[in-house]
C-alpha cells in the first residue's frame, strides 16, 4: 500500500516469456496486487506467470492490445485496487519506477501519471529508432496544440491511474489496437483529469516488443484521427461516445470468454 491505498500492477502480455520473470522480480513489495492478462500467447507466458505467483487471466483469442488493457483494468478494479500501474512485461520500461508513479497518484495530486521517455533525453540513448523519435515529437506537438495541454509525450506504455479515472472514462469505446493508449489520454483531458509525468529510461532490444514501420504508420494515423475526433466533439461538430459521459465504461458484462486462471 501507498498512503493507505491498494496498488495494483497490471501487465498486458503477448509472447512475453523471455522477459516476464525479470519484470516481475523488480516489482516493489509495495505492490498489493499483481495481474497479468495473456492475449492468447503462443509461448509459455501464462504458465510462467502462474509460477511467479502472478494472478493470471488468459484470453481465448488474440483480441489486441487495447482489449487486453480493458481486461487488465477490469480485473484490477474487481480486486479492490485504488491505484493501478500498467507495466509492459517486455522490460522496455523499468518496473523500479512503479512506487514513484503510484505515489504521485496515491497522493491525490494526479489522476494519471505517464512515464516519459522524452524527459531527460534518454529515448535515443535507449535505442529508440530515429524515425520513431521524430514521429513522437511531431505527433506530441500536434496533440499539445489541439488538446490544449503540454505533455512531453503521448506514446509511452508505462502509466499509472486512479480508480476514479478508470471507472469514469468510456474505455469500452476505444480501439482494440495500440491507439487505445492515445485515446485514453485524450479522454482524460476531455474529462478534466489531472495528468503528471515522470522521466523514465527506456530500452530497445530484440526481446522487447515494438511495432514495425507499417503498424507505426497506422498508429500515427490513429493519433491524428483521435485528435480530430476530440476537437470535433469539443466544438460540438460531432458527438462521439468516446468522449461522452454516457459512453460505455468498464463493467461486468462488457466482455465474454475470459478464462480466470488465478
CA–CA separation, 171 and 158 (whole Å): 17
Instruction: Please report, for residues 3, 15, 21, 28, 51, the alpha-carbon distance to residue 43 in angstroms, rounded to integers and kept in the order given.
Output: 38, 6, 14, 26, 15
pLDDT category of residue 259 using cuts at 50, 70 and 90: very low
Give the domain extent around 69. Answer: 7-245
Kindly tell me if the per-residue pLDDT of 177 is higher than 80: yes
| Number of domains observed in the structure of the chain | 1
Residue 255 in any domain: the answer is no
Residue 251 in any domain: the answer is no
Domain harbouring 68, CATH code: 3.90.550.10
CA–CA separation, 23 and 144 (whole Å): 32
Kindly tell me if the per-residue pLDDT of 26 is higher than 50: yes
Which residue(s) pair with 197 in the sheet?
114
Kindly tell me if the per-residue pLDDT of 214 is higher than 90: no
Pair 209, 92: CB distance under 8 Å? yes
pLDDT at 204: 64
Q: Is the pLDDT higher at 78 or at 123?
A: 78
Residue 100 in any domain: the answer is yes
Amino acid at each position: 500500500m501507498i498512503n493507505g491505498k491498494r496498488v495494483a500492477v497490471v501487465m498486458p502480455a503477448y509472447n512475453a516469456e523471455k522477459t516476464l520473470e525479470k519484470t516481475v522480480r523488480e516489482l516493489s513489495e509495495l505492490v498489493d496486487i499483481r495481474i497479468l492478462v495473456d492475449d492468447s500467447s503462443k509461448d509459455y507466458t501464462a504458465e510462467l506467470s502462474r509460477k511467479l505467483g502472478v494472478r493470471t487471466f488468459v484470453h481465448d483469442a488474440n483480441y489486441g492490445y487495447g482489449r487486453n488493457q480493458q481486461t487488465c483494468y477490469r480485473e484490477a478494479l474487481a480486486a479492490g485496487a485504488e491505484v493501478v500501474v500498467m507495466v509492459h512485461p517486455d522490460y522496455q520500461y523499468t518496473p523500479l519506477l512503479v512506487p514513484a508513479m503510484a505515489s504521485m497518484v496515491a497522493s491525490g495530486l494526479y489522476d494519471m501519471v505517464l512515464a516519459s521517455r522524452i524527459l531527460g533525453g534518454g529515448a535515443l540513448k535507449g535505442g529508440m529508432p530515429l524515425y520513431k523519435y521524430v514521429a513522437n515529437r511531431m505527433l506530441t506537438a500536434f496533440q499539445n496544440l489541439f488538446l490544449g495541454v503540454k505533455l512531453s509525450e503521448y506514446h509511452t506504455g508505462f502509466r499509472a491511474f486512479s480508480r476514479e479515472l478508470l471507472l469514469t472514462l468510456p474505455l469500452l469505446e476505444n480501439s482494440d489496437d495500440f491507439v487505445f493508449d492515445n485515446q485514453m489520454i485524450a479522454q482524460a483531458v476531455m474529462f478534466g483529469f489531472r495528468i503528471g509525468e515522470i522521466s523514465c529510461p527506456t530500452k530497445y532490444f530484440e526481446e522487447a516488443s515494438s511495432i514495425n514501420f507499417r503498424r507505426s504508420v497506422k498508429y500515427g494515423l490513429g493519433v491524428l484521427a483521435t485528435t480530430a475526433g476530440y476537437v470535433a466533439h469539443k466544438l460540438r461538430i460531432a458527438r462521439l461516445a468516446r468522449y461522452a459521459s454516457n459512453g460505455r465504461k468498464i463493467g461486468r458484462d462488457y466482455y465474454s470468454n475470459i478464462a480466470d486462471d488465478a
